[in-house]
Amino acid sequence: MFPFRKKRVEEALVPPNPAEDRAIELTSEELRLLRQPRSAIAEQIRQLRNSIQALNPDGAPRTMVITSSVEGEGKSVGTLNLALALAELPRMRVLVLDADLHRPAIEDYLGLPHRQGLSELLRGELGLDQAVRATSVQGLCVMGPGRLPEKPSELLGSDRLKTVLSQLRQRFDYVLIDTPPALSINDSAMLGALADGIVLVVRMHSTQRHLVEQAYNLLENLGGNVLGTLLTAAGEPNQAYSR
């Protein structure tokens, strides 16, 4: 059903190569901000970006977790489009961090090869500068998940993650953290409590309301701060304005 839902082959990963990454054009149709920059969906994402910016008038560096109640609601695609919308602003430095160590998708949506990343960084096997990958889009960097660990929660729960997040705050204006669904995997709520804010992705007309409420309560009860929601599959009500 979903193109990237097939099991990830556990290959032996090598460190990223900056020249290789920068040369890759981002072509996926899912990247609405690049492919259909004037569509209603692109505008909706820019509105979310503007609201997030409005909540941060001082322009302080921010870490934000993107999550949803259940799988397939559009977290990964939403994370990338929000990152692209932020990167449209002048001098903005944005990092997309793929912290879904169960079903990562960021590298695949960007067409980037799987390389070492977050897991190796947290294990001390890769430096931060190597783990952060530039892309062909100005202002946009990514960090992939690296080799998927046996016990993702243990790796993400280590103190080292806090250090990594504070180092990333010094280098980027926004760090957007893609995560697994909140109701099935505890990692999102745990990461949400560490981050400055959470965006809850909700698939319209599909996800049951009580599940959204459950996810919201779970995230807030564990210390997270839900800043807003991103509605996906909402149709294109403003078709007349899109090109």
Q: Which residue ranges make up the site for ligand ADP (CB under 6 A)?
A: 2, 30, 41, 68, 71-78, 105, 232-233
Q: Using DSSP, state whether 189 is helix, strand or coil.
A: helix
Nearest to 98 by CA among 75, 81, 71, 130: 75
Tell me whether residue 102 or residue 160 sits nearer to Mg ion (CB atom).
Answer: 102
Q: Which is nearer to Mg ion, 130 or 203 (CB)?
A: 203
- Which of 32, 46, 49, 75 binds Mg ion (CB under 5 A)? It is 75
d(CA 129, CA 145): 15
> Of these, 87, 92, 105, 137, which contacts Mg ion (CB under 5 A)?
105
Smaller CB separation from ligand ADP, 67 or 130:
67
Q: How many helices (H) and strands (E) does the chain have?
A: 11, 7
- Of all residues in the shown chain, the one whose CB is closest to ligand ADP is 74
Told to check if 67 binds Mg ion by CB under 5 A, we report no
The three-state secondary structure class of 194 is helix
Min separation Cβ 72 and Mg ion, Å: 8
Query: What is the spatial distance between Cα 62 and Cα 199, in angstroms, rounded to a whole number?
Result: 12
* C-alpha to C-alpha distance for 205 and 222, rounded to whole angstroms: 27
Task: Sort residue 187 into left (φ over 0), alpha (ψ -120 to 50) or beta.
Answer: alpha
CB-nearer residue toward ligand ADP: 30 or 125: 30
Q: How far is the CB of 1 from ligand ADP (least distance, A)?
A: 8
Residue 146 touches which of Mg ion, ligand ADP, none (Cβ within 5-8 Å per kind) = none
Q: Does 39 engage in binding with Mg ion (CB under 5 A)? A: no
Alpha-carbon distance of 71 to 91, in angstroms, equals: 33
Q: Can you give the binding site for Mg ion, defined by CB under 5 A?
A: 75-76, 105
